[in-house]
């Protein structure tokens, strides 16, 4: 039987099974705030656009319909302050497949390094493992090794909600260019800034002209890409609707490989993406929902003895009370609440847990109530 290159780790969430079973036994029932899957409805105009495009008898273009690429470019200009041509945009089948497959798509292999944040979504490291590359956990550009081929930046971060400002992003891009590495900003939480200054200022993109500098009178995209998903801002996780943008030469390589692999965003999903990108009202409404849930959950966690670290943006509260994360997970399970242990996000956060804002309003209120009762 064929074998994968090297041993792959077990899927981390399988380790949650006993805590899930314990939480289910709570008299009031289970409340799951461990994952970031949206629970609110997909906006009606987006669903209508999907339905209207279901006569999709032909193969969709891997590059995306021209109207979609134009919509993405226009959205970047309006919401992110980024100037792009439609040729500098490529749709993807959600963002997770992109994160896990990008080292392969770029031809990275053994003896080469993929850099990822110290506290990070596990798919970055999995992408390195799938091609036999070295995964390097580092937030300091001066530490990035000479054999770096791909560097992941995640801002706002999952799980810690950390935001990188323009100066931090510029230092990262400058170092990546020194190394001859591709650098990618994973920015799918960028519409959700909570603490100052991000409650009032736009969270910067890695493609921001202030980060990139200029070449031939245009922002210099060389070696730089940004990945974005509509799962969070538009409740489209089930649609697998995302895109990557930036360096046109890199995107042309990715497009060629993706054509061979048959990685195509379905035509009805592309139509839904166009509708989502053109409407800001539903994003503002979703932002308000998460802000209200956060305003309930954060003080309840703090009153229960948890310190909130980072979390200035994104869909999670990254908290600790100074004990091993599994101990905290067990304590929450006793209250019928499922949370995510920091161990899932690298070796540098063993005493943190991730608490998601992606639960219905009444569930968030019930989490706060149970936490309040637990400290009386």
User: Measuring CA to CA, which residue among 190, 139, 153, 168 is closest to residue 349?
Assistant: 139
The predicted-structure confidence for 67-102, as pLDDT tens digits, reads as follows: 999 999 999 999 999 999 999 999 999 999 999 999
Give the H or E element holding residue 299: helix 281-303
What pLDDT score does 218 carry?
87
Structure tokens at 264: 């195509």
Q: Rounded mean pLDDT of 49-64? A: 94
Q: Which residues contact 96 (CB under 8 A, 6 or more apart)?
A: 123
What pLDDT score does 304 carry?
96
The predicted-structure confidence for 99-136, as pLDDT tens digits, reads as follows: 999 999 999 999 999 999 999 989 999 999 999 999 99
Q: Which residues contact 185 (CB under 8 A, 6 or more apart)?
A: 153, 154, 155, 169, 205, 206, 207, 224, 225, 226, 227
Taking the domains of the chain in order of start, what are their residue ranges?
12-41+282-374, 48-279
Question: Mean pLDDT of all residues in the chain?
Answer: 94
For domain 12-41+282-374, give its CATH number from 1.10.760.10, 3.40.50.2000, 3.90.1150.10, 3.90.1300.10: 3.90.1150.10
What pLDDT score does 219 carry?
86
Distance, CA of 198 to CA of 157 (rounded, Å): 13
Cβ atoms of residues 354 and 345 within 8 Å: yes
Q: In sequence order, what are the beta bridge partners of 4?
A: none
The region, left, alpha or beta by phi > 0 then psi within -120 to 50, assigned to residue 165 is beta
What pLDDT score does 14 carry?
80
Structure tokens at 205: 């993109």
For residue 147, the tally of other CB atoms under 10 A from its CB is 13
What pLDDT score does 189 carry?
97
The predicted-structure confidence for 38-53, as pLDDT tens digits, reads as follows: 999 999 999 999 999 9
What pLDDT score does 376 carry?
63
What pLDDT score does 6 carry?
54
The label of the residue with tokens 């792009």 reads 84
CATH 3.40.640.10 fits 48-279, yes or no: yes
Cβ atoms of residues 30 and 20 within 8 Å: yes
Distance, CA of 328 to CA of 316 (rounded, Å): 16
Query: What is the DSSP annotation of 39-67?
Result: -SPPPHHHHHHHHHT----SPPPTT--HH
What pLDDT score does 15 carry?
86
Cβ atoms of residues 176 and 146 within 8 Å: no
**Omega prior to 252 cis, within 30 of 0:** no
What pLDDT score does 4 carry?
46
- Is 347's pLDDT higher than 70? yes
Q: Rounded mean pLDDT of 18-28? A: 93
pLDDT band at 1 (very low <50, low <70, confident <90, very high): very low
The predicted-structure confidence for 227-248, as pLDDT tens digits, reads as follows: 999 999 999 999 999 999 999 9
Cβ atoms of residues 158 and 123 within 8 Å: no
Q: Which residues contact 368 (CB under 8 A, 6 or more apart)?
A: 296, 297, 299, 300
User: Measuring CA to CA, which residue among 125, 187, 129 is closest to residue 154?
Assistant: 187
Q: Rounded mean pLDDT of 251-279? A: 95
What pLDDT score does 10 carry?
64
Give the H or E element holding residue 214: strand 214-215
The label of the residue with tokens 């890409």 reads 225
Total residues belonging to the chain: 376
Q: In sequence order, what are the beta bridge partners of 338?
A: 32
Cβ atoms of residues 152 and 114 within 8 Å: yes
Find the Cα–Cα–Cα–Cα dihedral 178, 226, 159, 157, rounded to 10°. 60
Distance, CA of 314 to CA of 160 (rounded, Å): 8
Distance, CA of 315 to CA of 169 (rounded, Å): 21
The predicted-structure confidence for 302-340, as pLDDT tens digits, reads as follows: 999 999 999 999 999 999 999 999 999 999 999 999 999
């Amino acid at each position: 039987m064929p074998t994968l290159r090297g041993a792959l780790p077990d899927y981390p969430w399988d380790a949650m099974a006993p805590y899930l079973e314990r939480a289910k036994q709570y008299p009031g029932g289970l409340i799951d705030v461990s994952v970031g899957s949206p629970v609110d409805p997909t906006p009606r105009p987006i669903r209508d656009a999907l339905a209207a495009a279901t006569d999709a008898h032909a193969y969709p273009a891997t590059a995306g319909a021209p109207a979609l690429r134009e919509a993405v470019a226009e959205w970047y200009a309006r919401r992110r302050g980024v100037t792009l041509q439609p040729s500098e945009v490529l749709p993807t089948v959600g963002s997770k497949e992109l994160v896990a497959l990008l080292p392969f798509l770029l031809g990275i292999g053994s003896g080469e390094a993929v850099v990822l944040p110290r506290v990070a979504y596990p798919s970055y490291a999995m992408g390195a493992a799938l091609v036999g590359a070295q995964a390097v956990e580092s937030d300091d550009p001066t530490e990035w090794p000479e054999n770096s081929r791909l560097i992941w930046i995640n801002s706002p971060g999952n799980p810690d909600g950390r935001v990188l400002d323009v100066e931090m992003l510029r230092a990262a891009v400058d170092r990546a260019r020194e190394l001859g590495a591709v650098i990618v900003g994973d920015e799918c939480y960028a519409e959700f800034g909570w603490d100052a200054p991000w409650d009032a200022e736009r969270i910067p993109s890695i493609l921001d002209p202030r980060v990139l500098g200029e070449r031939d009178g245009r922002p210099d995209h060389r070696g730089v890409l940004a990945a974005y998903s509509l799962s969070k801002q538009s409740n489209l996780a089930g649609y697998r609707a995302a895109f990557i943008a930036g360096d046109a030469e890199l995107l042309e390589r990715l497009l060629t490989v993706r054509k061979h692999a048959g990685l195509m965003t379905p035509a009805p999903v592309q139509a839904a993406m166009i509708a989502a990108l053109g409407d800001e009202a539903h994003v503002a409404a979703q932002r308000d929902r998460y802000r209200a849930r956060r305003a309930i959950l954060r003080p309840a966690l703090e009153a229960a003895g948890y310190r909130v670290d980072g979390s200035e943006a994104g869909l999670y509260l990254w908290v600790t009370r100074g004990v091993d994360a599994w101990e905290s997970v067990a304590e929450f399970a006793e209250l019928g609440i499922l949370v995510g242990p920091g161990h899932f996000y690298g070796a540098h956060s063993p005493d943190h847990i991730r608490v998601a804002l992606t639960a219905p309003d009444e569930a968030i209120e019930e989490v706060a109530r149970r936490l309040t009762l637990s400290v009386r």
